Amino acid sequence: MAGGSAPRRRAHALLAVPLTVLVASCSTVPTPPPGRSALLWKAATECSAGISSLRIDRVDEDGSVHGVTLSRDQRQVALDSDRFNTCYRQRAGETLALAASPARITDVGLLPSRNPVTSVTVQVVDNAVLVPVVVNGSRPAWFIFDTGASITVLTPSLARQLGLDVPRDAQRTTAQVAGGQQVQVPLLRVASIAVGGARVDNHEVAIYDIRRSINTGATPTSADGLLGFDFLGRFTTTLNPRTRTLTLQLEELPAR
């Protein structure tokens, strides 16, 4: 890569086509463009952070990445490029999927605000806060409120009740669940997940028996899953233990 321009590969199928960091001659970093390129730019710059031999200059709408190499050690550049490409393929897909499933609030809650807001009543069982969660428009299930969980988790029992099958070749990821434990979990995409009027469509969740992971305190037998930061982090979240109310608010209306 250090010796000149590499062949450009089109990346219409972003995750199916190996991506190549291209050598560019510009010496300044431009302002990232709006829209899809901005999302891909964000993924690329996050993956290049800490890689001193590479600098990202531009990301095209089709996902092609242009950059410069800052080292003469071609072996190190090759290793860093492989590291970047692996990260970028995953991060770009996650970023685009997140943008394709924006958060919205479909009702007006109890708090007066110019921004959309919704509130629900929670339960406290065995020192755990349980939130009513509706998955795919079904009856409410009770999820443990856990901003420390990196991903929302459904128990296998709830998944079966909802008619969700986990294929043997389902994508897996390492997730942080209750108690900070790291576990390998299969992923599924549900049509929608909602708390009161706060809803996210096309949302990815994990399937896991949370009773295996909670090692501090008692585990409520009524818990059907964990409501994690991947959902809660999209909103300004206020938990009032005195009134046992959870309020979710959007700071701005999502783009239509």
Is 61 in the same domain as 183?
no
Flag whether 69 is in a domain. yes
* Domain end call among 67, 100, 133: 100
Of these ranges, 37-51, 199-213, 226-240, the one predicted with the greatest mean pLDDT is 226-240
CATH at 139: 2.40.70.10
User: What pLDDT score does 10 carry?
Assistant: 33
Percent of the chain clearing pLDDT 90 (strictly above): 28
Q: How confident is the model at residue 27 (pLDDT cuts 50, 70, 90)?
A: very low
Flag whether 2 is in a domain. no
Burial 124-140 (b: 16+ CB within 10 A, else e): ebeebbbbbbebeeeee
pLDDT per residue over 3-14, tens digit each?
443 333 333 333
User: What pLDDT score does 19 carry?
Assistant: 38
Q: In the numeric block, which tokens belong to residue 124? A: 């406290």
Identify whether the C-beta of residue 74 lies closer than 8 Å to the C-beta of residue 21.
no
Domain count, the chain: 2
* Domain end call among 40, 75, 100: 100
User: What pLDDT score does 98 carry?
Assistant: 65
* Alpha-carbon gap, residue 193 to 138, rounded angstroms: 10
Is 67 in the same domain as 95?
yes
Q: In the numeric block, which tokens belong to residue 39? A: 């999302």
User: What pLDDT score does 38 carry?
Assistant: 78
Is 87 in the same domain as 135?
no
Flag whether 186 is in a domain. yes
Task: Answer with the residue of higher pLDDT: 49 or 8.
Answer: 49
Is 65 in the same domain as 181?
no
Is 111 in the same domain as 52?
no
Is 171 in the same domain as 201?
yes
pLDDT per residue over 130-179, tens digit each?
999 999 999 999 999 998 888 899 999 999 999 999 888 888 887 776 66
200 pLDDT above the threshold of 60: yes
Range of the domain at 229: 105-249
- Mean confidence (pLDDT) of the chain: 76
User: What pLDDT score does 169 carry?
Assistant: 83
* Domain end call among 83, 100, 117: 100
Helix (H) or strand (E) holding 57: strand 54-59
Closest CA to 216 of 174, 175, 180: 180
Query: Residue 15: CB partners within 8 Å, gap ≥ 6?
Result: 89, 92, 93
User: What pLDDT score does 114 carry?
Assistant: 59
Task: Answer with the residue of higher pLDDT: 74 or 243.
Answer: 243
Is 48 in the same domain as 113?
no
pTM of full prediction above 0.85 = no
Is 138 in the same domain as 172?
yes
97 pLDDT above the threshold of 50: yes
Is 111 in the same domain as 204?
yes
56 pLDDT above the threshold of 60: yes
With 0-12 / 13-18 / 19 or more C-beta atoms within 10 angstroms meaning exposed / middle / buried, residue 174 is exposed
Query: Residue 64: CB partners within 8 Å, gap ≥ 6?
Result: 8, 9, 10, 11, 19, 20, 22
